[in-house]
């Protein structure tokens, strides 16, 4: 049985089917859709993805016919009884039933934070987490033709949605409690995102907590301690929390992050129950601690391992190094490993170097300059992380550092990598090599 059928859940179901053709597999999903790319929601709003169903990978019909998996939407699991191995489910008619499982994969995902401020339940106030959320927002945009959007939160979703709303011609303001956007980047990289958003006409208000939303039926104003902003659309983009209530109520142990504690086999503390995806913690290979980093790529990997093991296999998911990338208007921003703050919190003594270097040979047309920051541990000399921003060539370049982190390389070793070179794609000294060399110097070595 799978509880929650988006990325991790349906990966688990599919994997379990591949391993065991005879297993009976049912997946309950509270929303109206299973197996969709929720990371694509901003591009549904911007119009780059044309129809909500384009985000769906496999429909319930195809799960049934092609994989013999019963995927039931609008079926909410209300309770898990791990001793009796039963769950209580509410079906679309509103009636509830109990049903048994032998093995359960808990993949209830994350939920969007909804700040408890006055007016949070006005019409025109949205979160963007499920495909249902996306469809509701699209309908509001079509039905009410709002002109002024205020986004509360400047994390990944906040930044991506600022671009999406600008793309469809809205005035956009972003209100963020913290002093900068993308706060899991170092400040110098956040600053590049801030400048890019401003260049694209987004009004930015940092260090301002949300106090209230005002309006009649519809939202009309956003109030912070410093100002009142007109708004006819508000998006809460203040981050994602694990949807772990069901787990906690069932006696499944949560970790220090508030997400479900899991082993490398995706086992919870309760026999017969695995957890995967945005409801679960992930082992961070750099800090060697559990972390909460809800990402679709990780969800799929964890789901695969949970499904394999739920069907009697023995797979493991070693963990992540904290890699992430996003597009912010004309800028690609990426990070991997630990930021300077995270490195300090994990007990390292971080030093860093920042370079700006071309994405292509200096004479080849197009391209631009990439900012690369490399973070290393003064003590051990080990690479701890890297961050990048630039108009192109950032997304997959960060993966060089991600791979180097998995291999526990030093900046010196990164500086000696045999990376691809041709004028349309890189300068003869790739920005990665230049940045690694600068970090070697910071560590006290010869540059």
Chain residues in the site for a second copy (CB under 8 A): 7, 37, 39-40, 43, 48-49, 54-55, 57, 285, 295-298, 300-301, 308, 313, 315, 317-327, 332, 334, 336, 361-365, 393, 395-400, 402-404, 406-407, 409, 413, 416-426, 428-430, 432, 446
* Cα–Cα distance for residue pair 246/108, rounded to 1 Å: 8
Tokens standing for residue 200? 């694209």
Minimum CB distance to a second copy smaller for 295 or for 355: 295
Minimum CB distance to a second copy smaller for 23 or for 419: 419
The enclosing H or E element of 77 equals strand 76-81
Query: 156-175: buried (b, 16+ CB within 10 Å) or exposed (e) per residue?
Result: bbbbbbbbbbbbeebbbbbb
> Cα–Cα–Cα angle for 116, 119, 120, nearest 5°?
50
* Cα–Cα distance for residue pair 162/11, rounded to 1 Å: 30
Minimum CB distance to a second copy smaller for 6 or for 89: 6
Tokens standing for residue 97? 């039933």
Minimum CB distance to a second copy, residue 119 (Å):
32
Sign of CA dihedral 265, 258, 301, 59: positive
φ, ψ for residue 10 (rounded to 5)?
Answer: -75, -25
Beta bridge partners of 49: none
Minimum CB distance to a second copy, residue 249 (Å):
30
* Cα–Cα distance for residue pair 32/29, rounded to 1 Å: 7
Minimum CB distance to a second copy smaller for 229 or for 417: 417
Minimum CB distance to a second copy smaller for 136 or for 395: 395
φ, ψ for residue 354 (rounded to 5)?
Answer: -125, 130
Minimum CB distance to a second copy, residue 414 (Å):
8
Minimum CB distance to a second copy, residue 237 (Å):
16
Minimum CB distance to a second copy, residue 402 (Å):
6
Is 79 among the catalytic positions?
no
Name the catalytic one among 26, 39, 354, 419. 39
List active site positions. Answer: 39
């Amino acid at each position: 049985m799978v509880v929650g059928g988006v990325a991790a859940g349906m990966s688990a179901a599919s994997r379990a089917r591949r391993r065991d053709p005879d297993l009976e597999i049912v997946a309950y999903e509270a929303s109206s859709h299973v197996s969709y790319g929720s990371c694509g929601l901003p591009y549904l709003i911007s119009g780059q993805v044309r129809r909500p169903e384009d985000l769906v990978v496999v429909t319930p019909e195809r799960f049934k016919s092609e994989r013999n998996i019963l995927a039931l939407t609008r079926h909410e699991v209300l309770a898990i009884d791990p001793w009796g191995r039963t769950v209580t489910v509410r079906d679309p008619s509103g009636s509830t039933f109990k049903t048994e499982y032998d093995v359960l994969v808990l993949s209830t995902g994350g939920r969007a934070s909804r700040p408890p401020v006055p007016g949070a339940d006005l019409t025109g106030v949205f979160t963007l987490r499920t495909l249902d959320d996306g469809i509701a927002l699209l309908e509001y945009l079509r039905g009410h033709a709002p002109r002024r959007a205020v986004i509360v939160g400047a994390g990944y979703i906040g930044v991506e949605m600022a671009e999406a709303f600008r793309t469809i011609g809205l005035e956009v303001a972003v209100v963020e409690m913290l002093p900068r956007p993308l706060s899991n980047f170092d400040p110098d990289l956040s600053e590049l995102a801030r400048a890019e958003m401003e260049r694209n006409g987004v009004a930015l208000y940092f260090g301002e907590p949300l106090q209230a939303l005002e309006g009649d039926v519809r939202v009309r104003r956003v109030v912070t301690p410093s100002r009142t902003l007109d708004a006819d659309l508000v998006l809460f983009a203040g981050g994602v929390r694990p949807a772990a209530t069901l787990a906690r109520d069932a006696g499944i142990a949560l970790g220090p992050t508030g997400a479900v504690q899991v082993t490398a086999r995706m086992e919870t503390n309760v026999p017969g129950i695995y957890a995967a995806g945005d409801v679960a913690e992930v082992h961070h290979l750099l800090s060697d601690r559990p972390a909460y980093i809800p990402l679709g790529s990780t969800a799929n990997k964890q789901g695969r391992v949970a499904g394999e093991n739920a069907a009697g296999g023995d797979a493991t998911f070693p963990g992540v190094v904290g890699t992430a990338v996003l597009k912010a208007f004309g800028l690609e921003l990426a990070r991997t490993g630990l930021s300077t703050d995270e490195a300090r919190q994990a007990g390292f003594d971080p030093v860093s170097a920042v370079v700006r270097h071309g994405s292509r040979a200096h004479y080849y047309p197009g391209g631009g300059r990439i900012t690369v920051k490399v973070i290393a541990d003064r003590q051990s000399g080990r690479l701890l992380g890297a961050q990048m921003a630039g108009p192109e060539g950032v997304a997959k370049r960060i993966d060089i550092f991600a791979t180097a982190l998995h291999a526990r390389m030093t900046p010196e070793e990164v500086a000696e990598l045999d990376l691809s070179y041709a004028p349309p794609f890189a300068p003869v000294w790739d920005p990665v090599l230049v940045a690694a060399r600068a970090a070697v110097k910071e560590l006290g070595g010869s540059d």
